[in-house]
């Protein structure tokens, strides 16, 4: 085999190796990066893959799933939520692995009557166990314009962000026995479905199907994340932290807009709050 042929094969192998190790920071394309998993034509990709619409009617909702699995990094998605009377509906954007002991990181937007605020529901699952909910009212109308919802995930912490403002931090506290999602690659999911048994005022307000179809819009998906596990990616994202300004904004959001925190729900945990709730650095 000629030396030039050897060089060509070496370059090809090197490019494959780099594609595995180096995070993908390219602007996303819904055609390229996602598969429609349910809902048939209720999930539509438009504008050459730049816009996704997910719709819900009385027969079905709809959803998509990323083709890649990710382990650590930052994922951004811009979403414009269902306007008007969206009571009973849930629009979601979340990460999840598979199986009974799956890991999961959730953004769920719980609809409400026209003129009332959406509830942003967040949760973290590790090894199949969740029950770590925090809920917020947003400080803007999420139906009028697109807003950016982001997850930063590394082996030390998970940070939830809205328009680049941190609203929640879930730290790795395995040292005190708290499971943390750090070893299972996860896909990205988005969906809209009917949950009027619990979504709006605990299920008291039902979905008004005369307002259907309910449609949410997605755009500007960006994955600056590892598509496979590697030492390079593990440490690339490990040192992300919040500066003083970001920590102050986080406290402001939690003080003004948090409406539920499992770490203060003594009725739910009569035998004692989960161990992470006792640590002052838990936010």
69 carries an active-site annotation: no
Distance separating alpha carbons of residues 123 and 109, to the nearest angstrom: 12
Residue closest to 237 by CA, chosen among 153, 126, 151: 153
Q: List, for residues 149-168, the tens digit of each pLDDT value.
A: 999 999 999 999 999 999 99
Distance separating alpha carbons of residues 148 and 134, to the nearest angstrom: 19
Residue closest to 71 by CA, chosen among 276, 283, 233: 233
Q: List, for residues 203-221, the tens digit of each pLDDT value.
A: 889 999 999 999 999 999 9
Catalytic option among 104, 133, 174, 276: 104
- 239-249 average pLDDT score: 90
Residue closest to 74 by CA, chosen among 152, 147, 188: 152
Q: Where are the domains of the chain?
A: 22-278
Average pLDDT across the chain, whole number = 88
Q: List, for residues 76-86, the tens digit of each pLDDT value.
A: 999 999 999 99
The CATH number assigned to the domain with range 22-278 reads: 2.60.120.200
Catalytic option among 108, 133, 174, 276: 108
276 carries an active-site annotation: no
Assess whether pLDDT exceeds 70 at residue 3. no
Residue closest to 203 by CA, chosen among 89, 108, 59, 81: 89
% of the chain residues with pLDDT over 70: 87
Question: What is the per-residue pLDDT for 24?
Answer: 47
Three-state SS at 159: strand
171 near 157, Cβ under 8 Å?
yes
Distance separating alpha carbons of residues 180 and 185, to the nearest angstrom: 13
Q: Which pair of tokens denotes residue 212?
A: 């259907």
- Confidence band (pLDDT; 50, 70, 90) for 169? very high
Q: What is the pTM of this model?
A: 0.88
Q: Which pair of tokens denotes residue 38?
A: 């349910």
Distance separating alpha carbons of residues 216 and 63, to the nearest angstrom: 11
Residues 6+ apart with CB under 8 A from 233: 21, 23, 71, 72, 73, 225, 226
| Helical spans, DSSP H, in 115-258 | 231-236, 244-257
């Amino acid at each position: 085999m000629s030396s030039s042929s050897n060089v060509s094969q070496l370059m090809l192998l090197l490019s494959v190796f780099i594609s595995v190790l180096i995070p993908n920071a390219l602007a996303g394309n819904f055609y390229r990066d996602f598969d429609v998993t349910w809902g048939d034509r209720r999930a539509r990709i438009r504008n050459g893959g730049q816009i996704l619409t997910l719709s819900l009617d009385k027969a079905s909702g709809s959803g998509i799933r990323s083709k890649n699995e990710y382990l650590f990094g930052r994922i951004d998605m811009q979403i414009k939520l269902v306007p008007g009377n969206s009571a009973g509906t849930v629009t979601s954007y979340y990460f999840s692995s598979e199986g009974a002991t799956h890991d999961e990181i959730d953004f769920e937007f719980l609809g409400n009557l026209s003129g009332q605020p959406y509830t942003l529901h967040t949760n973290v699952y590790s090894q199949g166990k969740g029950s770590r909910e925090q809920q917020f009212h947003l400080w803007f109308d999420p139906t009028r314009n697109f807003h950016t919802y982001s997850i930063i995930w590394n082996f030390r912490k998970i940070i939830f962000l809205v328009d680049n403002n941190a609203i929640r931090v879930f730290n790795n506290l395995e040292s005190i026995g708290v499971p943390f999602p750090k070893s299972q690659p996860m896909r990205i999911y988005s969906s809209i479905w009917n949950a009027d048994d619990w979504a709006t005022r605990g299920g008291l307000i039902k979905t008004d199907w005369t307002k259907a179809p309910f449609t949410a819009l997605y755009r500007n998906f960006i994955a600056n994340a590892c598509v496979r596990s590697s030492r390079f990616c593990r440490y690339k994202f490990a040192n992300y932290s919040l500066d003083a300004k970001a920590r102050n904004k986080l406290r402001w959001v939690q003080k003004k807009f948090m409406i539920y925190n499992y770490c203060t729900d003594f009725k739910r945990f009569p035998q004692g709050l989960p161990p992470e709730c006792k640590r002052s650095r838990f936010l």
